[in-house]
Structure formats: structure tokens, C-alpha cells
Amino acid sequence: MDRVLQLIKEGPSAHLAGFFGMLIFAAVHYIVFAKLREQVCIIVCPYGRLQGVLLDRNSINVTYDYKRGEPRAKHNPLEDRDKAGKGDCIDCNSCVLVCPTGIDIRNGTQLECINCTACIDACDNIMDRVKKPRGLIRYASERTIADGTRLSFNVRILFYSVVLTGLLILIGYLFSIRTDIESTILRMPGSMYQEYDSLHYSNIYTIQLINKTRRDLPVEIEIEEAAGEIKMMGGPLVVPKGDVGKATFLLVIEKSQLKSSLTPIEFRVLSEGREMAEIEATFVGPNTLHAGK
Ligand code: SF4
Ligand code: SF4
């Protein structure tokens, strides 16, 4: 929000690329909503194209019950339609008039149908007025309409239910393990060890942190090895809310503690006393020490 206010205050001339990007974005949406409208659903949207290969006789869709509706005939309040052998569709055309893509669902499922269900509501309204049961147009499969049966629990519903439940469990698990901070620690590219003083070696590292919370987070780094010390450069690290923070730090280790030229190190990233991540890295020492595995 602060960033948006800042952009507004600074004006378009200070952010020409963003300004023209927004102009193009707004123009495309204006053309889609004001001019093209349903043409986008029919021509551009891939959903309609995919429908043909995804649907079969068992697929539930917005469907006209032709068994009940045909033969269609105009409404006559003085006539018993059943005795006259007429179907329930009074050919009022309401379902066609309300359809945003202008199709007649009575001709069967068509790729232009975006399943908005406006025709269902329109037809239910008409059925109420002519005192016939609702649902002449409803969610149903071609098979249930043809057989005159209702939807029953089948293997496909069971399969999709299992898949959906699995996905819900997976997304719940992913939410549960989501951390407030995402962090990476790398030894500075191209850097070797430094002789820190007569008793210590040091390595230089960079840490990058993504703060996924809505508050600024102070961050500390610790290592498991007691003989090592971390020296942050530029003072304590605080990552602004919803932003990326970067810092450089030195890891100083006593020479006597190093047994090889490549020592595995485990960093712990903490914020407000809570451990956010454990990151493995290596500490480089002189080649005179044996190479580590
Ligand atoms: S569901 Fe919507 S798009 Fe499909 S036929 Fe009915 S009114 Fe038209
Ligand atoms: S709204 Fe219903 S009754 Fe009217 S034409 Fe469509 S299907 Fe027939």
C-alpha cells in the first residue's frame, strides 16, 4: 500500500514502463468487457475448446431435458398439455434471450456454453408461472436425461472425491509447513577463506530472506558449532514486511577446530527466538588441511 501511494505521488513520468503497462492492461480489459464480451468466451477462452474432449455422456452439465420438454408448443392456459401430447417447453425463448453467448441450450451442449446457469433460472421462472415442476433445464448428464434416471453415486464420483480429498489434504499440509521466512545462505561467489587473525580463519557469506508476513521481522543467524562466531556486516538484520532482505556476514572459526579444507556447517535462522530454517553450507579452509567429504 505504501508503495502504491508512493507511485501515485511521484506521478507517471517517473515510472513510464509501469504506466504504459497499466495503460495496455486497462485498454485490453476495456475492449474485452465493452466490445468483445461473449466473443472472448467463444473464440479466446480455452475452456470451451477443451469441453469437447473432456465431456462424455456421463458428464454433468447445464442440460435441457428434451424427454420432458418435447414436443415443444406455445402455452395455452385452457389446455391440458399432457392430454394434448405436448411437452413442458412452451417455446417462450426466455432461455435463449438470457444466454450471454446467444445459444439455444435446447439444441444440446455447445462449446459456447460457459455454464453461467442463467437459462436454468429463466426456465425455472417460466415453469413456476405455468405451474410445472422446475428443472426443465438443469444440471444433469446426457445419460440421466436419456434414461430418465437421477444421478447416482458411481466409480467416477468416488475417484474424483478421493483425488479432491487428497488435494485438500496436500494443500492443508503445505499450509501447515509454510514458514514466515524463506532463506538462502551462500558463500560469496569466488571467495576463499581469510586469515582473520593469528588464531582464526573466516569465510564470507550472503544471506537472502523473503519475509512472507505483514510485519517487519528481526533476523539472527546462529551456528551449531560452538567454536564459531558470526559477525553481521551493517548491523542487525531486519527484513521489511512482504519484502526481500539481503545481508553479508562473516563466519569466524578457530584454526584449531578445522580438521579439513571443507567443513560442513549448519546455520540456524531465527526470528524473535523462533527457529525459521536450518541451512547447510560449507566453510573453506586452507588446502594444507585434508579435503573433507
Ligand atoms: S448456462 Fe449460460 S451460457 Fe450456457 S446455455 Fe445457459 S445461459 Fe447460455
Ligand atoms: S425457457 Fe424453458 S420453456 Fe422457455 S423456451 Fe426455454 S426451455 Fe422452453
Residue 54 within any structural domain of the chain: no
Q: Do 277 and 230 fall within a single domain?
A: yes
Residue 225 has a pLDDT of 66
Q: State the distance from the centre of ligand 1 to the C-alpha of 105, rounded, in angstroms.
A: 7
At residue 46, does pLDDT exceed 60?
yes
Residue 166 has a pLDDT of 97
Asked if 94 and 125 count as a contact pair (C-beta separation under 8 A), the reply is yes
Q: State the distance from the centre of ligand 1 to the C-alpha of 20, rounded, in angstroms.
A: 36
Q: Compute the mean pLDDT over every residue in the chain, rounded to the nearest whole number.
A: 88
Mutate to test the pocket of ligand 1, among 55, 106, 117, 126 (most ligand atoms within 8 A of CB): 117
Residue 226 has a pLDDT of 60
Q: Place 49 in a pLDDT band, splitting at 50, 70 and 90.
A: confident
Q: Do 187 and 279 fall within a single domain?
A: yes
pLDDT digits (tens, 9 = 90+) for 169-211: 999 999 888 888 889 999 888 888 899 888 999 999 999 999 9
Pocket (CB within 6 angstroms of ligand 2): 64, 69, 89-95, 106, 122-123, 126, 136-137
Closest ligand (CA of 66): 2
Q: Do 186 and 279 fall within a single domain?
A: yes
* Pairing label, strands 244-254, 228-232: antiparallel
Residue 190 within any structural domain of the chain: yes
Residue 293 has a pLDDT of 42
At residue 30, does pLDDT exceed 80?
yes
Q: Place 127 in a pLDDT band, splitting at 50, 70 and 90.
A: very high
CB under 8 Å to 31, separation ≥6 — which residues?
none
At residue 234, does pLDDT exceed 60?
yes
Closest ligand (CA of 130): 2
Residue 174 within any structural domain of the chain: no
Q: Do 65 and 30 fall within a single domain?
A: no
Q: Give CA–CA dist 287/293, Å, rounded.
A: 14
At residue 123, does pLDDT exceed 70?
yes
Q: What is the mean pLDDT of the segment spanning 219-232? A: 83
Q: Do 247 and 199 fall within a single domain?
A: yes
Q: Place 1 in a pLDDT band, splitting at 50, 70 and 90.
A: confident
8 Rama class: left (phi>0) / alpha (psi -120 to 50) / beta: alpha
pLDDT digits (tens, 9 = 90+) for 235-246: 888 999 889 999
Task: Give which of 268, 248, 168, 174 is closest to 205, Cα–Cα.
Answer: 248
Q: Do 107 and 145 fall within a single domain?
A: yes
Task: Give which of 172, 279, 173, 156 is closest to 221, Cα–Cα.
Answer: 279
The least confident of 26-30, 54-58, 77-81 is 54-58
Q: Do 79 and 139 fall within a single domain?
A: yes
Asked if 101 and 42 count as a contact pair (C-beta separation under 8 A), the reply is yes
Residue 17 within any structural domain of the chain: yes
Residues spanned by the domain of 15? 2-36
Residue 98 within any structural domain of the chain: yes
Q: Which atom of ligand 1 is nearest to the CA of 117?
A: 1
Residue 292 within any structural domain of the chain: no
Mutate to test the pocket of ligand 1, among 113, 125, 137, 138 (most ligand atoms within 8 A of CB): 113
CATH of the domain at 259: 2.60.40.10
Q: Do 193 and 277 fall within a single domain?
A: yes
Closest ligand (CA of 105): 1
As to burial, measured by CB atoms within 10 angstroms (0-12 exposed, 13-18 middle, 19+ buried), residue 74 is exposed
Mutate to test the pocket of ligand 2, among 72, 88, 89 (most ligand atoms within 8 A of CB): 89
Pocket (CB within 6 angstroms of ligand 1): 62, 98-101, 103, 105, 113-119
Q: State the distance from the centre of ligand 1 to the C-alpha of 99, rounded, in angstroms.
A: 5
Residue 160 within any structural domain of the chain: no
Q: Do 200 and 255 fall within a single domain?
A: yes
Residue 42 within any structural domain of the chain: no
